[in-house]
Structure 1
Amino acid sequence: MIARIPQLQRFLYSHYFFGGLRQAIGVLLPALILMGVFQMYSVGMIAAIGAACVAIIDQPGGPRRYGTNGMLAAILLGSATAAVTGLASSHSLLIWLVVPCLCFLFSMFTVFGKQGGLLGFACLLIMTLTMRVPLDPHEVLQHTVYSFLGGVFYFVFSFAAHRLLWHREELQALSVALFATADYMAARSRFYDVNSDLDESYRLLIHAQSAMTDKHQAARDTVLRELPKGRGRADRLRTASLNIFIDMVALLDSLVATHTDYATLRRTLPNSDVLIFSRDALRKLSINVSAIAFNVARNRHVKERNSVKAELRAIEYELEKYREGGLADGDPEVYALLVQVLRRLRNATRLVDRMAGHLSGSGNTELVDMRLDKSLDRFLSRKTWRLGMLTSNLRMDSSHFRYASRVAIAALLAMTLSAALSHTPILGSMGSGLSAHSYWIVLTVLVVMKPGFALTRQRNGWRLVGTLIGCALALVLFNVTHSPDVYLAVLVVTCVLGYSLIQVNFMAAAIFNTLFVLLVFHFLSPTTNAVIGERLVDTFIGCGLALLCSYILPWWEHGFMASLARAARKSNQAFLKTGLRYAELTRAQAAAHAARNSQPQRETQGDGATVEPAAIEGLDTQQHEAEVRWRVARKNMHIAFGNFAAAFYRMMDEPIKRQNNVPELNNLLIQNHVLASQITSAIPILAGLDHVPEGIRKSLEAVELYLDDKDADPPASIETEGELAALAYPLRQMVKAAQLIRQEMRGLETAGSGS
């Protein structure tokens, strides 16, 4: 039996480790060459700093055009920042004005999203490392040029690495998304375990879905950035990756569409073997997807998989027993629900097997869904940077303005405290060390402070613990060996791991970054270990200042929650409308093709009604366009829900008195998830009907009215004959969820206006 892939193996084959290795080589190489070959220690350090700032932008995942533009912007803005900071560093008063102003300006870059925040932090990092020593005016130009050349070197190196290793990047981004999908499947399997708590299972599921949404978007931006155009080897590789991605998204759709009232299911069938078999089947499929992800990362074929045939056959047997026992007649909706679970498990099994088949090396170069070939670029992230986005947020009610103000104030306080400590006689000999490395306090503040209070507090703890462990490890290393070769090897390893873990485990990244920095200073000044104590003290001071300044002009998460809830409702509304349009055109297309196929018989019988081929072709085009729009709306729905869920759980990490409207928001979170799941389930069924019965049509209209915040009168009963029984449960859940969303949103708006 295939076992789960250990986390360490997942990390070592991920694009996080691969990206960290690329970043470390690009940063260390100019320094090692200049220092080791030409003995130019100061120049090598400056060039490495310039390269390190550009490396911050070069994060794993995402469209290359954004990474390329971001790195170019980092080179230009970073060089300008180095020049301004260098000129101000020799003026004791001017530096006190320049540093807070630059902190405010570059912290405002968060208005441009994640990429803007990284660019702003890169510029702040080069500012902080430039202010560590005062520069004479004639040295500023040299410093700026060396920093610029270091950044250019990293850009050229990274561009070449991306061009040569593009397929490896695609596979690793896809692998991370597949692992996240497997984790999501494992979280869903808990709902079929009668011994697991439903509320806890729901929290784990939403966390897993939020993490999975980000990784799916990263894979989408990587895999879809260049589509196959011909029959060459590169196009065959792109097609294989694209096929796995398409099936992965289809698998997710199948899973999302299986949302069930698990409490009712457990209450109706408390000792049912169907639940056990469903749980085991999902867990096995989760392990299979993990194995596929691991083999995708290694670019190897799948040789062995867990079989779920036994579980599927056991579920079939149990359903037959229930049917014979009268469940299909006595409680048709529950029976139809169980049948749907079986069908979707079969569908998931088929998709997982097909994904494994893409890795079999069969050489198939055809897309599994040819209709998507020309429309996949619509699923890529779109980012627009405008100066107006910056200027329009220069107001007190902007969270970005408040965050930038906090960072500027914290940096000013850090400089003030550093100056005060360096002139305190009681510190004795340690005072000179604190003065020499006082920029560490500013750097700690910039690293730890985030727009949200919860993230800042989290990073505070992780940074403190990581620094403490890193200092302890450095002290042990310096006392165990004095070999420069060992120090150099450890320095390279810690640099790679520090870059690799920054998005995975911030505390572990802080450990390795601390050890890396201490090794760098040990090479520059090997006579003393006092730098370890200085690093520890400065980190504690910086973390304390960051936490204290988090209470200055705070912007708590509850201030965003209403807008995020509205965005989630709006995305579900668009998901439903585009889905209904897709189902309508699919029914019209099927009717047109049926009429076309029966046309020769009508012509023989003298019936003059005909269906023009051009009309059918136009209908096919409209149907395809509607399907693409529905899929894009589904992607947007997942992103909006993930943003809402992430913000809600961040709010729950804030002080209790700042946690407003928790019951309403929690219910909104659940009901939006329920609604999205049932829309995913209902639309394909609606698309397969010949016509929509009156009761079902009125129920759908009621859902739309509720989402429009209007009164509605859903029918008391709907049609359940034949295949319509499979539609009854999703529709009732949709009506109920939409009604509760309207109710909770009204309560949220009332509470917001009251406060």
Structure 2
Amino acid sequence: MTPSTPQLQRFFYSHYFFGGLRQATGVLLPALVLSGLFGWIASGFVAAVGAACVAILDQPGGPRRYGINGMFAALCLGSATTAVTGLAASHALAIWLVVPALCFAFSMLTVYGKHGGLLGFACLLIMTLTLRTPLTQADVLQHTLTSFLGGAFYLVYSAIAHRVLWHREEQQALSVALFATADYIATRARFYDVHLDLEESYRQLIRHQAAMTDAHQAARDMVLRELPRGTTSRADRLRQGLLNLFVDMVSLLDSTVATHTDYATLRQALPDSDALLFVRDAMRKLADNVSGLALNVARNRRTRVRNSVKAELRALEFELQQLREQGLPHSNPELYALLVQVLRRLRNMTRQVDRMADHSVNPMPSDSDLPKANRSLNRFLTRQKWQLALLTDNLHRQSAHFRYAIRVAIAALLSMVVGSALAHTPMVRSLDPGMAGHSYWIILTVLIIMKPGFALTRQRNGWRLIGTLIGCGLSLVLFYLGLSPELYLLILVASSVLGYSLIQVNYTLSAVFNTLFVLLIFHFLVPGSNTVVGERLVDTVIGSILALSCSYILPSWERNTLDDLARTLRAANQIFLRGGLAFVQAARMARQAGQPGGTEQQEAETQWKLCRKNVHIAFSNFAAAFYRMMDEPTRRQRHVPEFNRLMIQHHALASQIAAVIPQLALLDTEPDGIRQALAATGDLLADRPAAPPNVIETDGDHAALAYPLRQMIKASQQIQENMRALEPVRSDAPTGSSGPA
């Protein structure tokens, strides 16, 4: 991580904190107004629950219409869930059927991805909290209407807030992406330090790349959702400035990714050279500059002061001159060309960082070569398709989503059984009568903890337990101090804000503040009673045990999905290479026609960039699943070395393709050796026999292509070998099998 910007400072200027503040305000306002002005404490709580259900769908990133549609769906489905649950609660048998059925139905919404999962959880949350107080049939309508009005208030409030603060939201999303880019560059710098372990550096790089991919997609969805129209209005100038920064950030990432090399060979060839250290120091400074720029973007400030990397670049030039005098261009032309290419890319990265800083000072530059808003950029936005067929096609035992829904339904049913047993146990009723009426908290804990993957459930389980324990301890301390009601209310509001803000940053801390928030609510509802703290802790422990135990029912082990993800990643790299070669061909034809940069060339370049985005997403999905598998029990893992090598070689391959294609686009034609190398790479990715060239031309401009082309062939060969090593297991083991490896 870049040390120049403290994590706490990043957090408070990020869209996580800003979004948490917005969500907490929208959820608490109905409760504060109804209870504070009218004294309707119970109605205020119900309205806040309805608002909280809608707030779950109010996530940063994505086109605004998707957010509004998601919140509207949460409002309608949540209100229907409230009515159904309220009516069923008055019938002893119906509630035992309705709760598991709703848990299954809403858990199946995970087939629609992140937003589908959030929608399902929002409905399950309002279902569980409706169970808190038994309702008569006469009360159900009033309860549902109050919950609906609370959710409707939040929907209107959120729409207005987004309308007014759109620029601030886009700035913060872009800032998070810039911070992630800075972290990625800093991690890249580790490879040039001969004293740091390469394997550990690769692990850190892959994790940072996955985080950066998510951050870039969120920023892309925010910045590109409404492009500048070329007018002179203030809003259009602000949009143009953010668009320029985003495009420059992507260009900077391209330059960074394209510097990938065989670092082990580089370290062996230049073990005592200061050239590697100068590259490392230059990249660290650039990472610091990007980190500072990210902070200033979040603070709406201009970036003027930057760390200069001129000293490192000049020192690297001197080292290259020394190597030239030692005859390296003749003894090892590929290595020398590689070092020259690294120097060029560092210069290019420096210019791009300076340009980004200039854009923050002058949001509407007059340079004619700056990227302009183009409708083709809309193709880079995330698309969410809600098709009924996607849901029905997953209603079978082999589907991971179906298995997850079954697990959640069984866990909810067991939670009700345990809650009912506690309610009818004489010892429990005599020691703490309140335990009998709080079984809904066990169900809520189960729903919060359980995730589609076993590793995520176990990880979330530990975080939840630790957070609840700390939160209960803090609440006991606060209750012992006997503070004023006003101060307790202030702590309650702060806990709500931090609970919403930290949920995507640090789940344990989020659990701490959410526990504190809930216990403070009960402190206001039942003043002077501290037994609720122990009840919450016991319920959470019971829910955690049930959630972890039920994770072994029809489990979906990551090993069953990695084969498909590996094939998807190979196909994505294959398409990335084909798209790049199509762009090269379009660039050559445009030059021959005397129209360089024409429409067809721009279209081919856009398609290639779309392929590059898809490669990053496929790689992140594969890497995330691999690391989740590593968190699962050892006997549930398989082919760890092969999957690890696939991850590393795909990363190297994508980096070399990104480095080769722009250079090929500048050539009018390529020699036979280079053409054969490209063909061999394509054949290997297609799992066909390949004939790598005996010699790759290294004269003139071709020297810079020889090394990355060799790395592409080497990476493709290893990808083919490792993919073939998976075939026997893939053919023997049925998809979705939950048996031992």
TM superposition shift of 1:424? 1.3
SS of match in other structure, 2:598: helix
Q: Which residue of 2 aligns with 1:296?
A: 297
2:193 and 2:276 in contact (8 A); partners too: yes
Q: Deviations over 1:705-734 (max 9, x none)?
A: 111111111111111110100000111111
1:440 and 1:535 in contact (8 A); partners too: yes
Q: Which residue of 1 aligns with 2:45?
A: 45
Structure 1 residues 365 and 54: CA distance shift in structure 2, 3 A: farther
Q: Which amino acid aligns with 1:558?
A: R
Matches of residues 194-593 of structure 1 in structure 2 within 5 Å? 194-229=194-229, 230-361=231-362, 363-364=364-365, 369-370=370-371, 373-593=374-594
Deviating 4+ runs (over 3 angstroms): 365-372, 428-431
1:687 to 644, 648, 665: 665
Q: Which residue of 2 aligns with 1:678?
A: 656
2:429 and 2:435 in contact (8 A); partners too: no
2:428 and 2:435 in contact (8 A); partners too: no
2:192 and 2:279 in contact (8 A); partners too: yes
Q: Deviations over 1:493-547 (max 9, x none)?
A: 0000000000110000000000000000110011310000000000000000000
2:244 and 2:371 in contact (8 A); partners too: no
Find the aligned partners of 2:212 and 2:430 in 1 and give their Cα distance: 52
1:414 and 1:442 in contact (8 A); partners too: yes
Q: Which residue of 2 aligns with 1:735?
A: 713
Q: Which residue of 2 aligns with 1:610?
A: none
Q: Which amino acid aligns with 1:136?
A: T
Structure 1 residues 368 and 99: CA distance shift in structure 2, 3 A: farther
Q: Could you list the runs of 5+ residues in structure 2 that have no partner in the other structure?
A: 734-741
- Greater shift, 359-368 or 241-250, is seen at 359-368
TM superposition shift of 1:479? 0.7
Matched, 1:698 2:699: no
1:423 and 1:431 in contact (8 A); partners too: no
SS of match in other structure, 2:580: helix
- Greater shift, 503-512 or 740-749, is seen at 740-749
Q: Which residue of 1 aligns with 2:645?
A: 667
Find the aligned partners of 1:371 and 1:731 in 2 and give their Cα distance: 33
TM superposition shift of 1:368? 5.5
Q: Which amino acid aligns with 1:670?
A: I
2:47 and 2:147 in contact (8 A); partners too: yes
SS of match in other structure, 1:429: helix
Q: Which residue of 1 aligns with 2:736?
A: none
Q: Deviations over 1:349-400 (max 9, x none)?
A: 0110000001114642668643662311111001100111111101000000
Q: Which residue of 2 aligns with 1:722?
A: 700
Q: Which amino acid aligns with 1:350?
A: R
Q: Which amino acid aligns with 1:499?
A: Y
Q: Which residue of 2 aligns with 1:654?
A: 632
Percent identity, aligned pairs only, is 65
Find the aligned partners of 1:276 and 1:465 in 2 and give their Cα distance: 42
2:227 and 2:373 in contact (8 A); partners too: no
Q: Which residue of 1 aligns with 2:127?
A: 127
Find the aligned partners of 2:363 and 2:647 in 1 and give their Cα distance: 44
TM superposition shift of 1:429? 3.3
Q: Which residue of 1 aligns with 2:191?
A: 191
Find the aligned partners of 1:368 and 1:658 in 2 and give their Cα distance: 54
Q: Which residue of 2 aligns with 1:92?
A: 92
Q: Could you list the runs of 5+ residues in structure 1 that have no partner in the other structure?
A: 594-615
Matches of residues 13-28 of structure 1 in structure 2 within 5 Å? 13-28=13-28
TM superposition shift of 1:345? 0.6
Q: Deviations over 1:460-480 (max 9, x none)?
A: 000000000000000000011
TM superposition shift of 1:481? 2.3
2:240 and 2:364 in contact (8 A); partners too: no
Q: Which amino acid aligns with 2:182?
A: A
Find the aligned partners of 1:370 and 1:205 in 2 and give their Cα distance: 29
Find the aligned partners of 1:366 and 1:219 in 2 and give their Cα distance: 24
Matched, 1:55 2:63: no
Matches of residues 28-39 of structure 1 in structure 2 within 5 Å? 28-39=28-39
Find the aligned partners of 1:253 and 1:118 in 2 and give their Cα distance: 33
CA RMSD in angstroms, aligned pairs only:
1.2
Q: Which amino acid aligns with 2:466?
A: V
Find the aligned partners of 1:27 and 1:429 in 2 and give their Cα distance: 36
2:419 and 2:438 in contact (8 A); partners too: no
Find the aligned partners of 2:280 and 2:147 in 1 and give their Cα distance: 56
Q: Which amino acid aligns with 1:554?
A: P
TM superposition shift of 1:426? 2.1
2:241 and 2:363 in contact (8 A); partners too: no
Find the aligned partners of 1:47 and 1:368 in 2 and give their Cα distance: 53
2:615 to 626, 637, 640: 637
Q: Which amino acid aligns with 2:620?
A: G
Q: Which amino acid aligns with 1:156?
A: V
Q: Which residue of 1 aligns with 2:737?
A: none
Q: Deviations over 1:567-586 (max 9, x none)?
A: 11111111100100001111
Structure 1 residues 543 and 362: CA distance shift in structure 2, 3 A: closer
Matches of residues 79-158 of structure 1 in structure 2 within 5 Å? 79-158=79-158
1:239 and 1:367 in contact (8 A); partners too: no
Find the aligned partners of 2:274 and 2:445 in 1 and give their Cα distance: 55
Find the aligned partners of 1:287 and 1:422 in 2 and give their Cα distance: 58
TM superposition shift of 1:482? 3.3
Q: Deviations over 1:665-699 (max 9, x none)?
A: 01110111011000000001110112111111111
Q: Which residue of 2 aligns with 1:175?
A: 175
Find the aligned partners of 1:309 and 1:531 in 2 and give their Cα distance: 62
Q: Which amino acid aligns with 2:558?
A: E
Report the TM-score when normalising by structure 1. Answer: 0.96
2:691 to 685, 688, 713: 713
2:238 and 2:363 in contact (8 A); partners too: no
Q: Which amino acid aligns with 1:353?
A: D
2:558 and 2:629 in contact (8 A); partners too: yes
Q: Which residue of 2 aligns with 1:606?
A: none
1:452 and 1:555 in contact (8 A); partners too: yes
1:406 and 1:553 in contact (8 A); partners too: yes
